[in-house]
Structure 1
Amino acid sequence: MRSSFALGILASALALTASAFDCKKAQVAGHTYDLSPLSREITLESNATTPPTLTSTRYVLNPCAPLKAEPDSVPEIDRCPNGAWACRLVTNFKKDEKPRITEVNAVAGKSSKDEPVLEAKTSGSDKPSEFHWIMKGAEVEKTVWSTDIKFVCNKSAKDQDLPTVVGFKDGVLSLEWAVPAACALGGGGDEKPPSDGDKEKKPVESSGGGFFSTMFSLFVVISALYLVLGVMYNYLIVRATGLDLIPNRAFWREFPYLCSDFTQHVWGMVNGRRRGGYSVV
């Protein structure tokens, strides 16, 4: 029981530091796209008459993150798999009978390690006006399902517009999504690349930001590992409970006083130098 508890804490801390697909800074053919306005779960549904029943096919997807876990009220067998970014659900309706889900499976994503691949089908130095969002899903009857979203740059559309289902064939869900978010940042791709003079003005700012960002990330990772490993040690080895789980609790309790003493000491040295090094007799 204790081991499971400690491992759960460690897994949660490491999950925070794992790399994830950044929808706000998606990279395609060397250009950056902000797909974050599309970060939401959407549902696409179509109905077909299948006498004596009605068959409904739903696709639930989020292009920026895995789907949220469904509530416990939904039977586990009828839920989308954990880690899915796109899910296909087929429901059968028959008069005077309760709806019955006949198919449910991941069309994109099947574990927490999966991330989409962004690919431009065209070549050249210009910003692509369209690109593909591709991700593999579950394997069904020896066929690996996948989702292929064709993003098209359309500044006159709205990011709230829904994608169009092109089809589902041989396990591949094909969608087309024309939205402003599919346009590269900085314009429609007709601006000139930065000159050498512009490049010379930016290295200090970009490298400085990257250095401090890296150091901050490293500090967060080390702090998380220190806390998690310290709690695990106190819980499993020392058998501590409550606040005693905090590693080096006595030191952290005295830390504010140590900082206060250090500040007073430095302030006293500064004031001493300002008096010129002599005292009045």
Structure 2
Amino acid sequence: MILRHIISQSLPSNMLSLLLLLSTTVFVMAADFDCHVATGGMNWDLTPLKSTQTLTRTRESPPTTMVDELRFKLCKDLKSMKGVPDDEQCESGTRACLRTTNKKTSLDDRVIAVIPIASTSILEPEYAKLDSPKGLSLTFHGSPYPSSSEDSQSIKFSLLCADAAEEPKFVSYENGTAHVEWSTPSACGSQDGESPQEDDEDTPADGGGGDSDEKPTQSVGSGLGFFFLVLILAFAAYLVLGAYYNYSTYGARGVDLIPHRDFWREVPYMLQDVVSHLCSTVRPRQSSRGGYIAV
């Protein structure tokens, strides 16, 4: 508590703001969809479906033809398409994008609509187990299109259990919702408790109790390592940005480049005071009544 009070009183407000911003970013990243789903007593690992998929459908509208191109990526954001103008493709942070191109003989193709159907910032994934046929229903959400509209965009995946993988199908796009049907073994899933048994096959049979005790420890260790990595990166960013600010604003050189140099000089003394206070608190007080003194 004392150290926390010292830090809150001594650290500059801009550094505290930077650390709070980075910690918030970490929590957002941790809550992001990672292609692992658990619902209805079943578990699904969708990482085999992580590649970018491009589906098309053609609609005749004489004298022109409409071509709808649906690009999506389940586990990560879509990458920008090379050679395509920025205004003819979805912006970064998009999971599913729908482009409509108007084609007419003797005329150049025209992109008449670019719709971000699902965005990572508001993905809000929804899951539901499918019983007949067996599989998983997965829905991603996006912003309203156009921006003046009240209806948000979304894409619904019907992932159907199959012995062999098939190409996904662009079923429909109605009322702002795209529907994709995909038959794949990854949609079969496994019941709760089956995955740990499969992992034990690759490990020595030294007893189930030992393995179950080690897995949570590894998970905690990994989380702590990631936390300290973020702190180190935040501190490095603070030093680099602070040094650049001192250089560009005050023309500082050498040691003067260190941001808030006077504060960092006082850190060892503050720690020494904290340790001394803790030691004096823990050390038992000597009794003033130690016995009689011979006269």
Q: TM-score, normalised by structure 2?
A: 0.64
Aligned equivalents of 1:74, 1:229: Cα separation in 2:
37
Find the counterpart in structure 2 of residue 259 from structure 1. Answer: none
Contact kept in structure 1, 2:170 and 2:181, CA below 8 Å: yes
Alignment of structure 1 residues 105-184 onto 2, 5 Å: 105-109=115-119, 112-115=120-123, 117-121=125-129, 129-140=134-145, 141-154=149-162, 156-158=163-165, 161-184=166-189
Contact kept in structure 2, 1:235 and 1:241, CA below 8 Å: no
Q: Please say if 1:56 is aligned against 2:56.
A: no
Moved more, 204-213 or 95-104: 204-213
Q: How many residues align?
A: 225
CA positional deviation for 1:15: 5.7
Unaligned runs of 5+ in 2: 1-16, 198-206, 260-295
Q: Secondary structure at the match of 1:214?
A: helix
Amino acid at match of 2:106: D
CA positional deviation for 1:118: 4.2
Q: Please say if 1:22 is aligned against 2:27.
A: no
Q: Please say if 1:231 is aligned against 2:236.
A: no
Alignment of structure 1 residues 174-213 onto 2, 5 Å: 174-185=179-190, 200-213=209-222
Q: Please say if 1:217 is aligned against 2:229.
A: no
Q: Secondary structure at the match of 2:122?
A: coil
Question: 1:75 pairs with 73, 85, 97, which one?
Answer: 85
Aligned equivalents of 1:81, 1:121: Cα separation in 2:
31
Q: Secondary structure at the match of 2:139?
A: strand
Aligned equivalents of 1:232, 1:138: Cα separation in 2:
34
C-alpha change, 1:207 and 1:16, in structure 2 (3 Å) is: closer
CA positional deviation for 1:238: 4.6
Contact kept in structure 1, 2:161 and 2:188, CA below 8 Å: yes
Aligned equivalents of 1:15, 1:149: Cα separation in 2:
28
Question: 1:42 pairs with 39, 53, 71, which one?
Answer: 53
CA positional deviation for 1:39: 1.0
Residue-by-residue CA offset, 1:94-127 (whole Å, 9 max, x unaligned): 1111100111111111xx423352412469xxxx
Q: Give the number of the structure whose alpha-carbon radius of gyration is greater.
A: 2
RMSD between aligned residues: 3.7
Amino acid at match of 1:164: K
Aligned equivalents of 1:22, 1:190: Cα separation in 2:
20
Q: TM-score, normalised by structure 1?
A: 0.67
More helix by percentage: 2
Aligned equivalents of 2:159, 2:96: Cα separation in 1:
16
Unaligned runs of 5+ in 1: 1-6, 248-281
Contact kept in structure 2, 1:105 and 1:138, CA below 8 Å: no
Contact kept in structure 1, 2:168 and 2:183, CA below 8 Å: yes
Aligned equivalents of 1:58, 1:12: Cα separation in 2:
36
Alignment of structure 1 residues 247-258 onto 2, 5 Å: none
Amino acid at match of 1:66: D
Aligned equivalents of 2:216, 2:238: Cα separation in 1:
33
Find the counterpart in structure 2 of residue 66 from structure 1. Answer: 77
Q: Secondary structure at the match of 1:120?
A: strand
CA positional deviation for 1:74: 2.5
Aligned equivalents of 1:147, 1:42: Cα separation in 2:
13
Q: Secondary structure at the match of 2:235?
A: helix
Q: Secondary structure at the match of 2:182?
A: strand
Aligned equivalents of 2:78, 2:69: Cα separation in 1:
14
